[in-house]
Amino acid sequence: MTLLADYYVPGLHVEDHAIKVPLDWSGHEPGRGFDGEALSLFYRVVTAPEHVHDELPLLIYLQGGPGGASPRPLNPTSDGWIAEAIRHFRVILPDQRGTGRSSRVDTHAMSRLADAGARVQADYLKRFLADSIVRDFEHLRRTEFGGASWVTLGQSYGGFLTLTYLSLYPQGITASFTCGGIPHVPADATEVYEHTFPRMATKTAQFYARYPQDVDRVAAVADRLPSVADLSSPSRQAAADVPRLPDGDPLTVERLQCLGSGFGMKPSFERVHWIFDEAFLDGDGSVSADSPLSDEFMASVMNATSSRPLYWPLQEFIYANGELDEPIRWAAQRVRDRHAEFSTGARPLTFTGEAMFPWMFEHEAALRPFRAAMDVLMEDTRFGVIYDEPQLARNEVPLEAAVYFDDMYVDSGLQLDTLSRVGNSHYWVTNEFEHDGNHGDRVFAHLYAEALDRGDLAALFRR
């Protein structure tokens, strides 16, 4: 096990490690040698200081995303589940390939591949989906942890990875926990957005009900912004009055609507409310048709609507399982176009949630290098297999899922439908938490206690 660094943060002992994994897992088996291009897989092992030398069971954290690196804990309570987990486990925090310190993919990576063409870029991005991520983790388990089985904890997209892991390598897992992250199987991106766009509209209505003064403030900002369609006009695109964010990207109504992407978490209503509170520069900051938008507001919008480099490019392809009947073809945009309440001219303005749109890859500098690859991927029908439905049906690994009833991102009804067809699965349905409930200190503790009482973790204590 290659040790890069060994240190403490308050309340935690941390070890940094990295291993090599193949870019393309085709023809390779986790745990064995490989040839061809390699990537670095970075991971941390985190323990309570009093357990540094104890042989505790292993728990690997499957981060949300897609394109999400593992948490960088400030202390045991900065990400609430960690405090409970280190009481019982050595916790492994891997950065999924392409994220954090694991051969990060961003504009530089796409630009380096530009000369090779869009098809090469598209095939490269396909290597950063669930089938490859799970094989990386299984390779890590077999090579660096002596093949010892481990417990998985999946947050959001980490729950998608959990079902991939249970489909491909169930023998590597003692038990699994998921939080707000059971995908619908069979997977279908269009179906997902058909369920989530109405939830986005509901969340927007709840936001305005909580902060009714923001109806006028949001409208006043939106009224002075161009739409994406406006920017397609050469005269408007060149005009000096197109508002620009600090990074130079144009601020459009559609970009403003993306402020709703966090509405499925707390306290996102308050964060957005305070962003609009400082929108207008002049006087006491009340709505004014003549007041410029403040620099503080523009910076806040930029920061709140920017995202991790792989988050939007991979967003719809996490639903691609094997050979598709038809291409995805911008599923979120197609569904949005059927909902008039999301029009840029509608007032009150409706915010969008976790959904990507074609304009992002035209007007955002951080995403522009991905555009050619996206056009190819949106017409593609061949992807890696991420779910084995017969295997999931006969699954014997205990699976304990937290299902958030009002989840804006992962529909609870679809989650329960999938769980009804996964063997040895159990679930806790609650409306007490939003999608990020696991970042508090109660959700994982509850799931762990439920599994412990049921005897699902008995194998951990026979070692």
Q: Indicate whether 24 and 163 sit together in one domain.
A: yes
Return the percentage of the chain with pLDDT > 90, whole number.
95
Contact 60, 47 (CB under 8 A): no
Mean pLDDT, range 196-212, rounded to an integer: 98
Tens digit of each residue's pLDDT (9 = 90 or more) over 153-170: 999 999 999 999 999 999
Q: Indicate whether 323 and 405 sit together in one domain.
A: no
Return the percentage of the chain with pLDDT > 70, whole number.
98
Residue 70 pLDDT level (bands cut at 50, 70, 90): very high
Tens digit of each residue's pLDDT (9 = 90 or more) over 239-252: 567 899 999 999 99
Tens digit of each residue's pLDDT (9 = 90 or more) over 350-389: 999 999 999 999 999 999 999 999 999 999 999 999 999 9
Task: Determine the pLDDT at residue 289.
Answer: 85
Q: What is the length of the chain?
A: 463
Round to whole Å and give the CA distance between 240 and 235.
10
Mean pLDDT, range 248-261, rounded to an integer: 97
Task: Determine the pLDDT at residue 238.
Answer: 56
Mean pLDDT, range 285-304, rounded to an integer: 96
Round to whole Å and give the CA distance between 169 and 138.
7
Please give the mean pLDDT across all residues of the chain: 96
Q: Indicate whether 176 and 204 sit together in one domain.
A: no
Q: How many domains does the chain have?
A: 2
Q: Indicate whether 174 and 42 sit together in one domain.
A: yes
Q: If we measure between CA atoms, which residue out of 80, 162, 208, 182 comes closest to residue 407?
A: 182
β-pair type (58-62, 150-155) = parallel
Instruction: Examine the fold and report which residue of 377, 411, 439 is the final residue of a domain before the chain moves on.
Output: 377
Q: Indicate whether 175 and 213 sit together in one domain.
A: no
Instruction: Indicate which CATH number applies to the domain containing 153.
Output: 3.40.50.1820
Round to whole Å and give the CA distance between 318 and 311.
10
Residue 396 pLDDT level (bands cut at 50, 70, 90): very high
Residue 237 pLDDT level (bands cut at 50, 70, 90): low
Within 13 Å of residue 366, how many CA atoms lie on the same side as its CB?
A: 16
Interacting residues of 120 by C-beta distance below 8 A, sequence separation 6+: 113
Q: If we measure between CA atoms, which residue out of 229, 201, 230 comes closest to residue 340?
A: 201
Mean pLDDT, range 244-262, rounded to an integer: 97
Instruction: Kindly tell me if the per-residue pLDDT of 317 is higher than 80.
Output: yes
Mean pLDDT, range 402-421, rounded to an integer: 97
Residue 412 pLDDT level (bands cut at 50, 70, 90): very high
Q: Indicate whether 266 and 410 sit together in one domain.
A: no
Task: Determine the pLDDT at residue 462.
Answer: 66
Round to whole Å and give the CA distance between 97 and 256.
30
Interacting residues of 150 by C-beta distance below 8 A, sequence separation 6+: 57, 58, 59, 60, 92, 141, 172, 173, 174
Round to whole Å and give the CA distance between 343 and 350.
8
Instruction: Kindly tell me if the per-residue pLDDT of 108 is higher than 70.
Output: yes
Q: Indicate whether 318 and 335 sit together in one domain.
A: yes
Mean pLDDT, range 75-84, rounded to an integer: 96
Mean pLDDT, range 115-119, rounded to an integer: 97
- Provide the residue type at 278 as one letter: E
Q: If we measure between CA atoms, which residue out of 74, 64, 240, 237 comes closest to residue 153?
A: 64
**For residue 19, what are the β-bridge partners?**
41
Contact 84, 48 (CB under 8 A): no
125: helix, coil or strand? Answer: helix
Task: Determine the pLDDT at residue 236.
Answer: 58
Q: Indicate whether 425 and 443 sit together in one domain.
A: yes
First vs last C-alpha separation in the chain: 22
Q: Indicate whether 427 and 312 sit together in one domain.
A: no
Instruction: Examine the fold and report which residue of 321, 342, 377 is the final residue of a domain before the chain moves on.
Output: 377
Round to whole Å and give the CA distance between 247 and 364.
9
Task: Determine the pLDDT at residue 175.
Answer: 98
Round to whole Å and give the CA distance between 392 and 402.
18
Instruction: Examine the fold and report which residue of 377, 402, 432 is the final residue of a domain before the chain moves on.
Output: 377
Instruction: Kindly tell me if the per-residue pLDDT of 200 is higher than 60.
Output: yes
Interacting residues of 226 by C-beta distance below 8 A, sequence separation 6+: 236, 242, 250, 252, 253
Q: If we measure between CA atoms, which residue out of 174, 150, 56 comes closest to residue 459?
A: 174
Q: Which domain holds residue 444?
A: 3-187+386-462
Q: Indicate whether 201 and 329 sit together in one domain.
A: yes
Q: Indicate whether 101 and 208 sit together in one domain.
A: no
Q: Indicate whether 136 and 284 sit together in one domain.
A: no
Q: If we measure between CA atoms, which residue out of 218, 309, 295 comes closest to residue 260?
A: 218
On the question of a cis peptide bond just before residue 267, with omega within 30 degrees of 0, the verdict is yes
Mean pLDDT, range 138-158, rounded to an integer: 98
Residue 233 pLDDT level (bands cut at 50, 70, 90): confident
Task: Determine the pLDDT at residue 232.
Answer: 82
The whole-model pTM stands at 0.97
